[in-house]
Structure 1
Amino acid sequence: MTEYQFYALTTVILFFKMFAISIVQGVGRLNSRTFVTAEDARFFAHAPPAPDEAPIVKRAALAWRNDLENIPIFLFLGLIYVTLGCWPGGVYIYFTIFVIARILHTIAYLNGMQPWRTIFFTVGMFVCVALSIQILSAVL
């Protein structure tokens, strides 16, 4: 598998990971029968809207927001890393570590597992820093 193919695979895996968080939110709403929007409350629960989301839905939303703060940065750095032809082995090592860290971060976030959530977040950030350093070294 080429570095670009591995980048594409990484991107798709991260998409499905984020899509899974959306499923957790939907299932959480259905299982708790808690809907904050009027049309969803009427349609799914035949009840007035709830004043607040169910706890699992809130956690999933926070995990999703954290992904939006981290995954796009990684994807941009990863694309630049591959395009510049930085260390080819790094594509397989760094990208794999990032994907695993983000998956474990989501699991830890959904289950309220500290310090693991912070550890997995930090591992992912270290990958982005390593990519950045190698990109800088390639262009300077």
Structure 2
Amino acid sequence: MLVPPSLEVFSCFVFYGVLLVVKMYVIAIITGQVRLRNKAFANPEDALRHGGLRFHREDLYVERCRRAHINDLENILPFLFLGSIYSMTAPSLAVARLHFLVFFAARVLHSVAYLCALPAPTRSLAYTVGQVPCVSMAVQILVAVAAYA
């Protein structure tokens, strides 16, 4: 059964959710800065503004930054949905905080591993660890609402 979230659990979720959104903005800014530094622009009009069409090209590090950002979109957006609904299942604050903190830490490590090209399997482990709280929240949500389906 879903209930109005407790202020403490929901505030904890909002704290980590906002940190994750800020992290996504930081990755986007890093991507833009790397584009400028490496003069590798996705659009011809941007290349023309920064030195000519020869800079309308791909760059390996720009692509690495873009993939880190895309991976964040693919993982953080579902977390934001799951976390908001999970907050309505009346979890204990300690357990909810653990879910949110583990996901946040795993996503930060994943981004660092991606951007710094850390050796395998760092990025894969960070991804996997980040999925554990999401799967846990999804299962708990399904259990809470199963009687009403």
Contact 2:40 2:62 in 1 (8 A): no
Q: 2:31 maps to which residue?
A: 25
Aligned length: 139
TM-score (structure 2 length as normaliser): 0.85
Structure 2 SS opposite 1:2 = helix
Contact 1:4 1:82 in 2 (8 A): yes
Matches within 5 A, 1:50-61: 50-61=55-66
CA distance in 1, matches of 2:32, 2:79: 27
Structure 2 SS opposite 1:69 = helix
Runs of 4+ in structure 1 off by over 3 angstroms are none
Gap runs ≥5 in structure 2: 1-6
Q: 2:132 maps to which residue?
A: 126
Gap runs ≥5 in structure 1: none
Contact 2:42 2:58 in 1 (8 A): yes
Q: 1:87 maps to which residue?
A: 92
Q: Deviations over 1:88-139 (max 9, x none)?
A: 3221111011001001101101122220000000001111111122223333
How far is the alpha carbon of 1:23 from its aligned partner? 1.0
Q: Deviations over 1:28-68 (max 9, x none)?
A: 1111122231221122x221153532222101111111112
- Of structures 1 and 2, the one with the larger relative CO (CA 8 A, separation 6+) is 2
Identity %: 37
Contact 1:32 1:54 in 2 (8 A): yes
CA distance in 2, matches of 1:93, 1:133: 16
Contact 1:36 1:49 in 2 (8 A): no
| Residue 116 (structure 2) pairs with residue 116 (structure 1) | no
Q: Which amino acid in the other structure matches residue 103 of structure 1?
A: V
Q: 2:144 maps to which residue?
A: 138
Please point out which of 7, 14, 27 is paired with 1:8: 14
Structure 1 residues 75 and 36, CA gap change in structure 2 (3 angstroms): closer
TM-score (structure 1 length as normaliser): 0.90
| Residue 118 (structure 2) pairs with residue 106 (structure 1) | no
Q: Which amino acid in the other structure matches residue 93 of structure 1?
A: L
CA distance in 2, matches of 1:67, 1:88: 25
